[in-house]
Amino acid sequence: MRIDIVTLFPEMFEGFLTGSLLGDAREAGILDVRPRNLRDFATGRHRQVDDRPFGGGPGMLLMPGPVVACVEAVQSDPSAAAPGRVILLTPGGRPLDQALVEELAAEPRLVLVCGRYEGFDARIRETLGAEEISIGDYVLSGGEPAAMVVIDAVARLVPGVLGDERSARDDSFSGAERLVEGPQYTRPREFRGLEVPEVLTSGDHRRIARWRREQAAEATRRRGSDAEPRGATSQPDTRQTERSMP
Ligand code: 6GU
């Protein structure tokens, strides 16, 4: 899988991409992740990439010229087979969930564009046929941490990236049931007076499987069923229904 990242801060990705999971996958040739510096596509004496919004308002917007030029340069790289699915990371985008992560993991190539300032000129999305993704209802100062979240979640579903394929399949939120995982324990058997539940050390695999299913169902109920936000079923919903994010 190939992932290109368009960003004003390529150095933010250095530690992330050389860390254990992604570093190993890149070395093994399973994942090819390439940050590209948007500033290289700025024009003019001041290497400008952002400007004030027409009509007034706070902050600065990424200009269409440099972003479109950078994405088009990245897409025309003959070493990549597909042009890639172009994704703008912005708080007003489609919320990321595991179903979307699974969809993205099936793509041969992604181009992730990190926003800065107040966002993107609207013609960027139009020109590139891009989609927009958000990682949650809060505002980050830039799309870079969101791109890392997307890459982490997607990469671990790419075959060969995780050592043990079963661990991705058994995760919370994967598969049809969307159960939250129940509690798990490792050594020691007793920690500060807290014992590992007897069933887990019993060696009775049917009992263990049943206990785990019950615990997962209970954890799912406590969280607010079906992977809804915490408390969504136990309290009247007073959150705003309109997305009021920038
Ligand atoms: Cl993708 N970008 C920014 N700037 N803030 C966010 C976000 C993205 N997702 C949630 N908040």
232 pLDDT more than 60: no
Whether 162 is in a domain gets the answer no
Alpha-carbon span 133 to 93, nearest angstrom: 4
To the nearest whole percent, how much of the chain has pLDDT over 70? 86
66 lines ligand 1 (CB under 6 A): no
* Cα–Cα dist 157/150, whole Å: 11
Nearest CA to ligand 1 atom 7: 91
pLDDT of residue 20: 85
What is the Å distance from ligand 1's center to 192 Cα? 40
Ligand 1: centre distance to CA 232 (Å) = 22
Q: Is the CB of 146 under 6 A from ligand 1?
A: yes
For residue 140, which atom of ligand 1 is closest to its CA? 5
Q: Kind and range of the H or E element at 34?
A: strand 32-37
pLDDT tens digits for 13-27?
999 999 989 999 999
Q: Is the CB of 140 under 6 A from ligand 1?
A: yes
Query: Does the beta carbon of 139 sit less than 6 angstroms from any atom of ligand 1?
Result: yes
Is the same domain home to 109 and 210? no
* Residue 117 counted as domain residue: yes
Whether 233 maps to a domain, the answer reads no
The β-bridge partners of 36 are: 6
The per-residue pLDDT for 45 is 94
Ligand 1 atom at minimum distance from 138 CA: 11
Range of the domain at 150: 2-155
Instruction: Name residue 109's beta-bridge partners.
Output: 2
Q: Are residue 112 and residue 23 in the same domain, yes or no? A: yes
Ligand 1 nearest-atom number relative to CA 141:
4
**What is the Cα–Cα distance from 41 to 23, expressed in whole angstroms?**
28
Same domain, 85 and 124: yes
- Minimum mean pLDDT range among 15-19, 40-44, 59-63, 168-172: 168-172
Pair (89, 140) in one structural domain? yes
CATH number of 148's domain: 3.40.1280.10
pLDDT at 10 over 90: yes
Within-domain flag for 173? no
186: CATH: 1.10.1270.20
- Cβ–ligand 1 distance for 90 under 6 Å, the answer yes
- Specify the pLDDT at position 166: 58
> Which pTM does this prediction carry?
0.87
User: From the CB of 91, is ligand 1 less than 6 Å away?
Assistant: yes
Distance between CA atoms of residues 120 and 229, nearest Å: 28
Nearest ligand 1 atom to the CA of 137 is: 10
Residue located nearest, by CA, to atom 6 of ligand 1 = 91
Residue 175 CA neighbour count, 13 Å, CB half: 12
- Closest by CA to 62, choosing from 71, 70, 52, is 52
Residues 129, 78: one domain? yes
Let me know: does 81 contact 108? Beta carbons within 8 Å.
yes
Q: What pLDDT, on the 0 to 100 scale, is given for residue 177?
A: 54
Q: How many domains does one find in the chain? A: 2
Question: What are 78-123's pLDDT values in tens digits?
Answer: 998 899 999 999 999 999 999 999 999 999 999 999 998 789 999 9
- CA–CA dist 159, 121 (Å, integer): 36
Instruction: Tell me, yes or no, whether 201 lies in a domain.
Output: yes
Instruction: Report the distance separating Cα 151 and Cα 75, nearest Å.
Output: 18
Average pLDDT, the chain: 89
- List residues with catalytic annotation: 91, 118, 156, 171
> Quick one: 8 and 89 in the same domain?
yes
Whether residues 26 and 99 fall in one domain: yes
140 shares a domain with 196: no
Residue 164 inside a domain? The answer is no
Does the beta carbon of 131 lie inside 6 Å of ligand 1?
no
Same domain, 121 and 191: no
Cα–Cα distance measured from residue 243 to residue 132, given in angstroms and rounded to the nearest whole number: 14
Do 104 and 144 have their domain in common?
yes
